[in-house]
Amino acid sequence: MADWFMSLPLWGIIRVSGILSYLLLFAGMMLGILHGMPGNSGRTRAAMFKWHTRCTWSGFLIGIAHGMIIYVDQYSPSTWREIWIPFTAHIHPVASGLGTLAVYGMLILLLTSDLRNKIKKPLWYMIHLLSYPVFLMSLFHGLFTGSDTGSAPIKLMYALTAIGLAGVTVYRFTLKSGRSKPVKLSR
C-alpha cells in the first residue's frame, strides 16, 4: 500500500489540493456572506447555508490532506514539526506558518459554528469574523509558497478571488449598516 501511495505524483497532488482547498474556502466564504444578504430567504437561504457548510468543511479537510502529504513528499519533504508548528518550516517559514495558522483558524471557525446554538450570538459572530484573517493567511500562503503562483492563470485566480471577496464584503456591510439606520424623512 505504501509503495502504491509513493508512486503517485505527490507533488502534483500537493499543488492541486492546496489550490482546491483555497477555492473551496473562498466559495464557502462567498456563500456565507451571500447567505446573510437581505432578501435571501426560504429555500435559497437554506441551500446557501448548506453549501457554505459543505465548502468550508471540504476546504478544511483538503487543506489538512495538503499538509499531511507534504510529510511524505520526496521532492520537498517537511517534518511533522514544520507542518504543525507555525513558522518552523525550513522553506518559506513565514508563508508556511500562515498556512498552518489558517488551518488552526478554520478549525476554530468550524467548531464554534457547530456549537453556534450553545454560545451567545455576538460571541459567535466575533469569532466568525476571524474568517477574514484566515482567508488572508490562506491567500498569502498560496501566493508565497505555491510553486504555481508565477503562472498567469494562478495570479488571476488569486486576484479575482481577493477582489471578489472584498467587493462582496463591502457591499454586504454597506447593506447591513444602511439597514440599521433609521430613515429620516424631511418635510
Please state at what angle helix 131-145 crosses helix 152-180, rounded to 10 degrees: 170
| Domain extents in the chain | 2-178
Question: What whole-number distance in Å separates Cα of residue 152 and Cα of residue 162?
Answer: 15
Which pLDDT value is given to residue 143? 95
Question: What whole-number distance in Å separates Cα of residue 175 and Cα of residue 169?
Answer: 10
Contact predicate 6/72, CB 8 Å = yes
Q: pLDDT digits over 44-59, tens only?
A: 999 999 999 999 999 9
Q: pLDDT digits over 131-159, tens only?
A: 999 999 999 999 999 889 899 999 999 99
Residue type at 144? F
Contact predicate 109/134, CB 8 Å = yes
Q: pLDDT digits over 112-127, tens only?
A: 998 888 999 999 999 9
Q: pLDDT digits over 9-57, tens only?
A: 888 899 999 999 999 999 999 999 998 888 888 899 999 999 999 999 9
Rounded to whole angstroms, what are the CA distances from 186 to 158, 181, 182, 183? 46, 15, 13, 10
Predicted TM-score of the model (pTM): 0.89
